[in-house]
Amino acid sequence: MPIQITPDLQENITNFEELFSDSEDIKKRKIKVGKNLESECYIAYIEVAISNVDWKDSAVGKLLEKLRTLPESQLAGYVRDNYYDISDAKPFETIEDAAQAMLTGDAIFFLDGYNKAIKIPDKGYPGRGVYETESEKVIRGSNEGFSESIKLNTALIRKRLRSPHVKVRETFVGRRTNTNVDLVYIKDLIHPEILEQIEKRLQEFEIDGALDSGIIEQLTERRKYSPFPQFQTTQRPDRAAMAILEGRIVLLSDNSPVALILPTTYNTFIQTSDDYYSRWEIASFTRVLRYVASFLAMVLPGLYLAVTNFHTQILPTDLLLSLAAARQGVPFPAMVEVLIMEVAFELLREAGVRLPGANGNTIGIVGGLIIGQAAVDANIVSPIVVIVVALTALCSFAVPNEEFATAFRILKFIFIFLCGSLGFFGFLVGLLTVLIHLSHLESFGIPYLAPFVGADLNGYQDERDTFLRLPLDFLKKRPVYTRQGARTRLKFGGEETRNREGK
């Protein structure tokens, strides 16, 4: 049962310090206040979360300075009537709520004779500022990236969406971590049932701690065994703002620089921010390349095995003879040969990620060249397999979203076994299985293959932003994520009512 804060300061101190016994990083100070220094107040805070020891220029210091000029009889009334003059100050009626507020990085203030505790914000926990994102490079557009501070991340979105219709709904996840989670959206664009659904999913589980948005993503997904993610991730504030303008919801988690965007589709994973900052010709060209790359990253090694093991008749004679000559002296079957190189490359990729800084780039490039050349010279693999594996890796790197590219890296091995065992029939079986799975997959009620399926839900408008990104003049409607009646996003001067919703 929660412990109520009382006007008795010593009782409040006893109850508060009982929660934080054996916590040397929690600093507690009892200070004399009042004109005659006959009253006392109590301040508790986390050691590194307050600006300086003397508090001279902090909100805490200014409050104490004021309290030392007032008669003792006026202290409680002053705090009660004027605490809101401090930005983001908040009163609490229970010891537990006050303790939780302090753990967010603020100071907690108790005053003798006052039956509430006041949260006084200061600099908070140490953290990074705004840095350039490393995982989502763009040619044109903002280079700002999210940080580990949820307040800073929310501000970066507000910086781009300066509208009172942008709403931020806060909740907490984790029984022991009490991690702040914010849902950011535009109230008049979203489907309310989608917002209710994600809030319900956040309440369906109870876990000790959620230290990153990835934990929340896994616990709220419905198709947990699908290799395809049902949340889109981004570290770019402009990408998040763009998604919010489409009527989608962005989930921010404290201590995580990765935001989750929902709902999502196959098509949104292929899109990038600079698709809309660049001219439509180059945006369309690069998007087609990404679609082709996502397909080849999944099937290219398998197709090579199907052709060389079962369907050599479809190859020109000269090419067939060249492949046969290249494989002379290789002691392994073609499937084993491909698996050796694929596993070796995956090991190089993992090693490159784990090694710090320039060492990671060096091991990826030099290691790939040395191992590939040494394997060919030793007749362990043929040169054509090195080429196929390298092309497959390039295709996976061309997919903009890392989580989405991981799905193709996993499916690649399934296609290797199917095509290496059954030939082109195995390729068709695998491809049909993936398509059936994608057709059954959805993200918060939106088909995963939209707008290739369900295009009529938005009058076939979404098809203008798929394989090709038509000129912005043609993209007058928001996608299907937006509620009906709010899908017009672009109008030109002089347009008549025929351009309204549904026309």
Q: Which helix (H) or strand (E) holds 108?
A: strand 107-111
179, 202 contact by CB (below 8 A): no
Q: What is the mean pLDDT of residues 7-15?
A: 93
| Statement to judge: residues 58 and 180 lie in one domain | no
pLDDT at 87: 61
Res. 501 pLDDT band, cuts 50 70 90: very low
Alpha-carbon dihedral sign for residues 148, 151, 154, 160: negative
116-143 pLDDT, tens digit per residue, is: 999 887 766 666 677 777 778 878 888 8
- Answer with the one of 231, 264, 297 that is the final residue of a domain: 264
End-to-end CA separation in angstroms for the chain: 58
For the cut 50, the answer to whether the pLDDT of residue 502 exceeds it is no
Q: What is the pLDDT of residues 243-259, one digit of tens each?
A: 999 999 999 999 999 99
In a domain, 273, yes or no: no
pLDDT at position 416, please?
96
The reply to whether 244 and 300 lie within a common domain is: no
User: Is residue 285 located within the same domain as residue 231?
Assistant: no
Residue 80 counted as domain residue: yes
Question: Does some domain include residue 91?
Answer: yes
Contact residues for 397 (Cβ-Cβ < 8 A; gap 6+): 405
Weakest mean pLDDT among 120-134, 199-213, 218-232, 471-485: 120-134
Please determine, for residue 323, whether its predicted confidence score (pLDDT) is greater than 50. Answer: yes
In the prediction, which pLDDT does 499 show?
Answer: 43
| Higher-pLDDT residue of 310, 375 | 310
Calculate mean pLDDT across residues 363-376. 73
The whole-number average pLDDT for the span 272-291 is 93
Mean pLDDT, range 232-253, rounded to an integer: 95
Residue with tokens 């953290």: 127
Weakest mean pLDDT among 168-182, 374-388, 400-414: 374-388
Same domain, 247 and 300: no
Is 40 inside a domain boundary?
Answer: yes
Boundary of a domain, candidates 207, 237, 264 = 264
Residue type, 191: H
More confident residue, 167 or 352: 167
Mean pLDDT of 384-406: 91
* Residue-number span of the structural domain to which 52 is assigned: 9-120
Are 289 and 320 part of one and the same domain? Answer: yes
Q: Residue 388 and residue 405: Cα distance in Å, rounded?
A: 17
Q: Give residue 184's pLDDT band: very low, low, confident or very high (50, 70, 90).
A: very high
Confidence band for 500, pLDDT divided at 50, 70 and 90: very low
Tell me, yes or no, whether 463 lies in a domain.
no
369: in domain: yes
Q: Which of 80-94, 108-122, 185-199, 465-479 has the lowest mean pLDDT?
A: 80-94
In this structure, the answer to whether residues 314 and 362 fall within a common structural domain is yes
Is the pLDDT at 494 greater than 60? The verdict is no
Record the tokens describing residue 295, joined without a space. Answer: 């397909």
pLDDT, the chain, mean: 87
Instruction: Determine the pLDDT at residue 359.
Output: 62
Residue 284 confidence (pLDDT)? 94
* Residue 490: strand, helix, or coil: coil
Alpha-carbon distance 494 to 363, whole Å? 59
Q: Identify the residue with better confidence: 45 or 493.
A: 45
- 20 and 76 part of one domain: yes
Mean pLDDT of 169-174: 92
Cis? peptide before 400, omega within 30° of 0: no
Structure token digits, residue 271: 């899109």
Amino acid residing at 197: Q
Interval 70-88 mean pLDDT: 81
DSSP 8-state symbol, 480: T
Residues forming beta bridges with residue 183, ordered by sequence position: 169, 251
d(CA 369, CA 363): 10
Single pTM value for the model: 0.84
Q: Which of 120, 138, 167 is the last residue of a domain?
A: 120
Collapsing DSSP states into helix, strand and coil, what is residue 476? coil
* Residues 79, 115 contacting (CB under 8 angstroms): no
What is the domain count for the chain?
3
- 250 and 284 co-located in one domain: no
In this structure, the answer to whether residues 38 and 110 fall within a common structural domain is: yes
| pLDDT attached to residue 47 | 79
Percent of the chain surpassing pLDDT 70: 91
Taken as a whole, the chain contains a residue count of 503
Between 51 and 422, name the one with better pLDDT.
422
pLDDT the model gives residue 503: 42
Query: Does position 498 have pLDDT exceeding 60, yes or no?
Result: no
Q: Which of 102-111, 191-200, 352-361, 398-407 has the lowest average pLDDT? A: 352-361
CB 148 within 8 A of CB 257: yes
Confidence check: pLDDT of 352 > 90: no
pLDDT of 148-163, one tens digit each?
889 889 999 999 999 9
User: What token pair was written down for 124?
Assistant: 């908070």
- 144 domain residue, yes or no: no
User: Are the C-beta atoms of 213 and 259 separated by less than 8 Å?
Assistant: yes
Contacts of residue 103, defined as CB under 8 A and 6 or more positions apart, other chains included, come to 46, 178
DSSP H helical segments within 20-167, as ranges?
59-67, 75-82, 95-102, 150-160
CA-to-CA distance for 304 and 335, rounded, in angstroms? 10
Residue 102, domain member (yes or no): yes
Same domain (yes/no): 209, 308: no
DSSP assignment of 240-298 equals HHHHHHTT-EEEEETT-S-EEEES--HHHHH--GGGTTS-HHHHHHHHHHHHHHHHHHH
- What pLDDT, on a 0 to 100 scale, did the predictor assign at position 458? 83
Return the axis-axis angle of helices 402-422 and 334-354, rounded to nearest 10°.
Answer: 160
Q: Which residues pair with 179 in a beta bridge?
A: 173
> Do 375 and 341 touch, CB atoms closer than 8 A?
yes
Burial 379-409 (b: 16+ CB within 10 A, else e): ebbbebbbebbebbbebbebbbbebbbebbb
In this structure, the answer to whether residues 107 and 202 fall within a common structural domain is no
- The answer to whether residues 291 and 258 belong to one domain is no
Average pLDDT for 220-226:
90
Of residues 351 and 69, more confidence is placed in 69
Mean pLDDT of 439-465: 88
In this prediction, residue 497 carries a pLDDT of 39
Res 325: pLDDT: 84
